[in-house]
Chains A and B, each alone.
Chain A
Amino acid sequence: RKEVEQDPGPFNVPEGATVAFNCTYSNSASQSFFWYRQDCRKEPKLLMSVYSSGNEDGRFTAQLNRASQYISLLIRDSKLSDSATYLCVVPVQRQNFVFGPGTRLSVLP
Chain B
Amino acid sequence: DTAVSQTPKYLVTQMGNDKSIKCEQNLGHDTMYWYKQDSKKFLKIMFSYNNKELIINETVPNRFSPKSPDKAHLNLHINSLELGDSAVYFCASSPRGEQFFGPGTRLTVL
Where the two chains meet, the residues of A that have a C-beta atom closer than 8 Å to any C-beta of B are 32, 34, 42-46, 49, 85, 87, 91, 93-99, 101-102
Q: Decide yes or no: A94 and B43 within 8 Å by CB, A34-B97, A43-B101, A44-B90 being known contacts.
A: no
The residues of A that contact B43 with a CB separation of less than 8 Å are 44, 87, 99
Q: List 28 A-B contacts (CB under 8 A).
A: A34-B97, A34-B98, A34-B99, A42-B104, A43-B90, A43-B101, A43-B102, A43-B104, A44-B90, A44-B101, A46-B98, A46-B99, A46-B100, A91-B97, A94-B55, A95-B50, A95-B56, A95-B94, A96-B45, A96-B48, A97-B97, A98-B45, A99-B35, A99-B42, A99-B44, A99-B45, A101-B41, A101-B42
Give me the interface of B with A, judged by CB distance under 8 Å: 31, 33, 35, 41-45, 48, 50, 55-56, 90, 94, 97-104
Instruction: Tell me whether A49 and B98 are in contact (CB under 8 A).
Output: yes
Interface residues of B, dominant DSSP: strand
Given A34-B99, A43-B101, A43-B103; 17 other pairs, CB 8 A cutoff: A43-B104, A44-B90, A44-B99, A44-B101, A45-B101, A46-B100, A87-B43, A91-B97, A94-B55, A95-B33, A95-B55, A95-B94, A96-B48, A97-B45, A99-B45, A101-B42, A102-B41
